[in-house]
Amino acid sequence: MHCVILTLFPEAIRPYLDESILGIAQAQGKLRVDTVDFRNYACDPHRTVDDRPFGGGPGMVLKPEPIFEAVQDVERTHGEFHKILLCPRGRTFDQRRARELSHCERLLFLCGRYEGYDERIRENHTWEEISLGDFVLAGGELGALVVLEAAARLIPGVLGCADSAVLESFEGELLDYPQYTRPREYRGMAVPDILLSGDHAAVARWREQQARVLTAKKLGADPTEATRHD
């Protein structure tokens, strides 16, 4: 997968991109991530990327020219990308979309700042608009990192254990079950006996029951209902 992130703050996100799972995926050659500062495509000596909104109002708006030029240059060099625009009005991101995006060959992310984008940026490109949720961030960079990490970890071979990406929350109907590791007891808190029993069938039943309870709680349902058939 080849990703390009258009941002005014490439230095802010580069360290995160090069660590942990994203760094490993790049080292394995399964992922390439380029950051592009679209200020480099500004067409005036002051490298202006924002301006006051027509009609008045607070704040500054991202100008169309640097972003149009940057997208055009990236696609001229590398070919067409699936283009993602981070914004609060987009569709809320989820695991299903992460899995779909993990199959994309080329992803381009546009990170907004200030009051957001000149509307013509939306009109003249085919963007998938993605939101992280119903709140307002200062910029789209965290959104790009979230979407990219969720998708990239699902590229086959990126996670050390293939099962990790299957046996986890939002992949099926249930959230993940509670996990424990050594020590067996810590500050008076003991690992549930069942996990030390060696009875694999009983462990599997316990885990499913716990997952049902956690899922019901998250959905605001009665957790006792979730275990009624066990």
Ligand X SMILES: C[S@@+](CC[C@H](N)C(=O)[O-])C[C@H]1O[C@@H](n2cnc3c(N)ncnc32)[C@H](O)[C@@H]1O
Residues lying near ligand X in the complex (CB under 6 A) are found at 86-88, 111-113, 115-116, 131-133, 135-140, 143
Q: Which residue has the tokens 């058939």?
A: 229
Which residue's CB atom is positioned nearest to ligand X? 112
* Closer by beta carbon to ligand X, 140 or else 226: 140
Give min distance, CB of 31 to ligand X, in A.
21
- Residue 158 half-sphere exposure toward CB, CA atoms < 13 A: 24
DSSP code, position 181: -
Partnered with residue 5 across adjacent β-strands are: 35, 109
Give min distance, CB of 73 to ligand X, in A.
20
Give min distance, CB of 95 to ligand X, in A.
16
* Closer by beta carbon to ligand X, 126 or else 224: 126
Phi, psi of 9 (to 5 degrees): -130, 60
217's tokens: 């709680």
* Closer by beta carbon to ligand X, 30 or else 82: 82
Give min distance, CB of 226 to ligand X, in A.
31
221's tokens: 């349902």
195's CB contacts (< 8 A; 6+ apart) are 180, 203, 206
* Closer by beta carbon to ligand X, 72 or else 92: 92
